[in-house]
Amino acid sequence: MVQLDKALRAWGTPDFKAVLKQEIAHAADQLPLQQGLSSGNYVTDDPVTVMVNSVAEMENVIRVRAGIFYQGILGGCSCADDPTPTSASNEYCAVQLDIDKKTAATTVTLI
């Protein structure tokens, strides 16, 4: 479970989306990026870019739908004569984040 404390504190302010994007990007290692790969088979350690698609206030949670842009690689066998280089490819996945309005505990679902 991801903790988005700063985003929860910024809720209702003009800075909410900027704080949210920064905090999601910082927690990239806790997102289901590996499951969202479409052309690679490993997620790189390169920074991610977050795009907030929608935000809705529910009774107990703040529901965010976001797009994540990141890099993946198609790793070969790493044999000495393997002709395929491990070049990075652009990846994208969409996630839904439900931020608990009391605790900031956030459930992340790949959509």
Tell me the C-alpha to C-alpha distance, in Å, between residue 62 and each of 28, 82, 98. Answer: 19, 48, 6
Residue with tokens 């009774």: 59
Q: What is the 3-state secondary structure (H, E, C) of 25-92?
A: HHCHHHCCCCCCCCCCCEECCCCCEEEEEEEEECCCEEEEEEEEEEEEECCCCCCCCCCCCCCEEEEE
pLDDT digits (tens, 9 = 90+) for 5-34: 999 999 999 999 999 999 999 999 999 999
Q: What is the pLDDT of residue 51?
A: 98
Using a 10 angstrom Cβ sphere, with 0-12 exposed, 13-18 middle and 19 or more buried, the burial of residue 42 is middle
Domain with 70 in it: what CATH number? 3.10.450
Range of the structural domain that residue 19 is part of: 2-110
Distance CA 53, CA 68 (A): 10
Q: Given this model, what pLDDT does residue 61 score?
A: 98
Q: Residues 100-105: what's their mean pLDDT?
A: 98
Give the pLDDT score at 75: 74
- pLDDT by residue (tens digit) across 55-95? 999 999 999 999 999 999 987 655 665 656 567 899 999 99
Total domains present in the chain: 1
